[in-house]
Amino acid sequence: MQIVKPVGKEAASRKYDLLSALSVHGLGADPGTQRRVLRLISLITARYNWQRDELCVGQREIARMWSVDERTVKREMARLRALGWLVQKTRGARGRISTYGLDLVQILEDTRPAWGLVGEDFVARLGPAEGVAETNVVPMRPVSAPKGQGVWAGAQALLAAEQPGLYGAWLSGLTEVEISGGKVVLAAGSSFQQSYIATHCKQVLTAALRRVDPALQGVEIIC
């Protein structure tokens, strides 16, 4: 499954696809899930900053939008984090509001069973469903590894071939800074990307890099 962030030339269609996937998933679920999905959609459409990949809105404002109290907001935001749909980027403190990012990979993976309710063209845009041959799928945007020499270039080729969804969504934008002390230092484009990759992708990166150079001890992600 090729996951591309909703920015750039095709941003509008990708946003609609994400909202469509959430909508059909929620409509076919239990009332509690329906309500939770609708609440998330309201935050995405009203307050999500796609350029910064960030949701920054206070609990009081969310409570007003959802017509609930702030205790309900805390509970629902915790559930969305537990689902993996929202990833906390910064924790709120006195005078500061918590900021969140959307985990598009997790959202689309969880909503995948409902894609067919929209139509075959929708399934084809987002990725292969159960029982659909890979050759019949039209990816949203193929992402291939750049040709080059070196450890990171070799690891990119492996990742793009073996885990194209993960590579296209998160890893293709990493750039090599240096190899120092047995570690490859890679730079991410944002603090959110750095945090997500360090939390969820470090083992995959390390394994790919060590297949290229077994002497390497690990990888460090910086912003």
Query: Domain 151-222 falls in which CATH fold?
Result: GMP Synthetase; Chain A, domain 3 (3.30.300)
**The pLDDT of residue 128:** 45
The backbone region for 53, taken as left when phi is positive above 0, alpha when psi lies in -120 to 50, beta otherwise, is left
pLDDT digits (tens, 9 = 90+) for 25-78: 999 999 999 999 999 999 999 999 988 888 999 999 999 999 999 999 999 999
Give residue limits of the domains in the chain: 1-141, 151-222
Helical pair 11-27 and 31-47, crossing angle rounded to 10 deg: 160
> What is the pLDDT confidence band of residue 9, given thresholds at 50, 70 and 90?
very low
Average pLDDT over residues 161-169: 80
**The pLDDT of residue 121:** 81
Is pTM, for the whole model, over 0.95?
A: no
Q: What angle do CA 22, 23, 28 make, to 5 degrees?
A: 105
Query: Domain 1-141 falls in which CATH fold?
Result: Arc Repressor Mutant, subunit A (1.10.10)
Mean pLDDT of the chain: 81
Residue 218: beta bridge partners? 183
Average pLDDT over residues 160-187: 85
| Side-chain half-sphere CA neighbours of 144 within 13 A | 3
